[in-house]
Amino acid sequence: MALNVAADLEKHVDEIVTHYPPQHKRAAVLWLLHLLQEQFGHLGKEQVEWTATKLGLQPINVWELITFYPMFTAKPRGKFHIKVCRTLSCELCGCGGILERLKKKLGVGLDEKTSDGLFTISTVECLAACGTGPVMMVNDELFENLTPDAAETIIDRVKATGKLEQQPLPKPVAPHPLEKRVLLANLTKPNYTGSMDDYVREGGYRSLPKALGMKPDDIVAEVKNSEVRGRGGAGFPCGMKWSFLAKGTGKPIYLVCNADESEPGTFKDRQLLHYEPHQLIEGIVVSCYAVGAHVAYIYIRGEMPYGAKILARAIEEARAKNFLGKNILGKGFDCEIYVHRGAGAYICGEETGLIESLEGKRAYPRIKPPFPAVVGLFGCPTVVNNVETLSNIPHIINNGAAWFKELGVPGSRGTRLVCVSGAVKRPGYYEFEMGKLTMRQLIEDLCGGLKEGRKLKGVIPGGSSMPVLKADQIDVALDFESLRKAGTMAGSGGIIVLDDTVDIVQSTLNVAQFYAHESCGQCTPCREGTLWMEKMLHRIRQGHGRPEDVDLLWDVADNIDGKTICPLGEAAAWPVKAFVTKYRSEFEAACKNGNGSKKH
């Protein structure tokens, strides 16, 4: 039976396909699957065959994506899909109580549909709103700061009205006196909305005509001289990365913005996408001019549908002002930006996994070399930069490398956005000069200290993949090198604060579950090892641990570390090794009375 696709939807699909080179129509497949699932509720045989025909693929090329990306389903769900975040920050503030209340209220288990066809409830991995947890999404709407009662009220309202109310963006929070806001400077100005008019009024798009009057190589040199390092996790120098691009190949150069923010504990890029989209767009256009790219893609994680809409609107506003498109500002430079929506896989945060996904395939990271700078998107030279990194570019061009280097400390120039969740009074996002604050100052001053009556147990300093710091290690400065010397990394800037009520074994299990779920399965050490760690931690938590399991757990993690194609292996291994090493007595106590011979 032929699929009946509405004419306006098919027109929209045909327009999206034009965002990609004609010989690479497959790249549009994730967008098509999102749109068809929104219309039909699931992706069955008819949807798959329609998509394959539209893009010139075999059905298996489509099925393999539906089974890989968690946001897609071949099984019909309820009209309203409830997705409760289960990862560490939300677990620490009570997501389990919300999940149990909703399961009881609806009378269904996980991933089951209610008898009236209205609801399906699922757990999902981090939704990048860790500072306002517990959180859940219902279809595309995000609900924050939940309690079980509040969650139940939301479901009652949906049942009564048969529809979802759009949730407003939270009001930006005023800066703390110890902050130094550059990227977030406009957020709390009177009546500032992030629109084109507001952004231009506050000096936006000034760097674009200045950059277009410069030689591209001079822009690369300025960025290199600024010593700005990547803000996505690895901290690689941005200008150096640009300088590696292969030139003179006869192939187009692409720029990809990595907006797949999915490291548990991290929600900084969400703020830039939602509140300052034009700052990012300006940074992308200037960067494209510098590296010789004429097309850029913003790969935004699928769980940020509102961010994708904000970006699409901002891109149209920029095009209307000739800040984007053909012959920008009459300077002879053409540049287009397209939003590409992911579908829920953490592995897409790795740049070659992201490129594979953008090409319409499973996000299996590539063996390097060759690096993306030589063979990247569609086999062409490609630079991949993070949202925060690209948002810095207009400020560097406007004010100069010397100005940027006055911010921060040697080796860690500029400001940094961090996001704090867990056991503090004021969780949220903060921007300050790198190296000018310590972790203690961040927790005690900016975040207001720990909640009443609680003591600090540890801090994860850069997203859940980074090794934990114990309470006596928090006088470390917040910059790349200081954290490295302390045995950890700045990572994604996601800081998770653990107090003395936290069960370290349970928290380690939560983190291990995340990486076991998110492993792409390509490398044996990661595919098998992450599941082994999860199973061992489950066994320990259920009272079946053995004394030898403590060393075995560390050993399994060590046999993943450094033995995989991409850094997800390290991301899974490092936190487990650090928790076991620094809180060994808690693991030993959990295993002390276990009976390893029990069947379970």
pLDDT, tens digit only, all 600 positions of the chain:
678 999 999 999 999 999 999 999 999 999 999 999 999 999 999 999 999 999 999 999 999 999 999 999 999 999 999 999 999 999 999 999 999 999 999 999 999 999 999 999 999 999 999 999 999 999 999 999 999 999 999 999 999 999 999 999 999 999 999 999 999 999 999 999 999 999 999 999 999 999 999 999 999 999 999 999 999 888 899 999 999 999 889 999 999 999 999 999 999 999 999 999 999 999 999 999 999 999 999 999 999 999 999 999 999 999 999 999 999 999 999 999 999 999 999 999 999 999 999 999 999 999 999 999 999 999 999 999 999 999 999 999 999 999 999 999 999 999 999 999 999 999 999 999 999 999 999 999 999 999 999 999 999 999 999 999 999 999 999 999 999 999 999 999 999 999 999 999 999 999 999 999 999 999 999 999 999 999 999 999 999 999 999 999 999 999 999 999 999 999 999 999 999 999 999 999 999 866 543 333
Pairwise CA distance, residues 10 & 32, whole Å: 10
**196-406 homologous superfamily:** NADH-ubiquinone oxidoreductase 51kDa subunit (3.40.50.11540)
Token pair for residue 331?
């300077």
User: Closest by alpha carbon to 452, among 506, 380, 500?
Assistant: 500
With contact defined as beta carbons under 8 Å apart, do 573 and 519 qualify? no
- The residue type of 84 is V
* Residue 330 CB coordination number (10 Å): 9
Sequence-distant (6+) residues with CB within 8 A of 80 are 118, 119, 120, 138, 139, 158, 164
Residues β-bridged to residue 496: 421, 460
- Tell me the backbone φ, ψ of residue 4, rounded to 5 degrees: -95, 95
Tally the residues of the chain: 600
With contact defined as beta carbons under 8 Å apart, do 171 and 132 qualify? no
pLDDT for the residue 594: 62
DSSP H stretches of helix in 262-367: 268-275, 277-291, 305-320, 351-358
pLDDT for the residue 596: 44
Tokens 């079980």 belong to 148
* Percentage above 90 pLDDT, the chain: 96
Sequence-distant (6+) residues with CB within 8 A of 137 are 81, 82, 83, 124, 127, 143, 303
Burial of 483 (0-12, 13-18, 19+ CB in 10 A): buried
Tokens 């190296």 belong to 435
- What CATH number matches the domain at 504-592, 3.30.110.40, 2.60.120.620, 1.10.260.40, 1.20.1440.230? 1.20.1440.230
Token pair for residue 381?
């030279």
Q: At what angle do helices 59-66 and 45-55 cross, to 10 degrees?
A: 120
Give the alpha-carbon dihedral of 154, 344, 309, 261, to 10 degrees: 100
User: Left if phi > 0, otherwise alpha if psi is -120 to 50, otherwise beta: which for 378?
Assistant: left
Fold of the domain spanning 80-161: Glutaredoxin (3.40.30)
CA distances from 578 to 440, 459, 589 (A): 20, 12, 17
* Residue 160 CB coordination number (10 Å): 8
User: Closest by alpha carbon to 318, among 336, 331, 305?
Assistant: 336
Pairwise CA distance, residues 487 & 477, whole Å: 13
Q: What is the DSSP letter of 546?
A: -
User: Closest by alpha carbon to 515, among 467, 574, 558, 596?
Assistant: 574
- For 61-68, the CB contacts below 8 A with 24+ separation are 61/26, 61/29, 61/360, 62/29, 62/33, 64/362, 65/29, 65/30, 65/33, 65/343, 65/360, 65/361, 65/362, 66/33, 68/345, 68/362, 68/363, 68/520
Pairwise CA distance, residues 135 & 233, whole Å: 24
Q: What is the DSSP letter of 446?
A: I
Fold of the domain spanning 408-499: Ubiquitin-like (UB roll) (3.10.20)
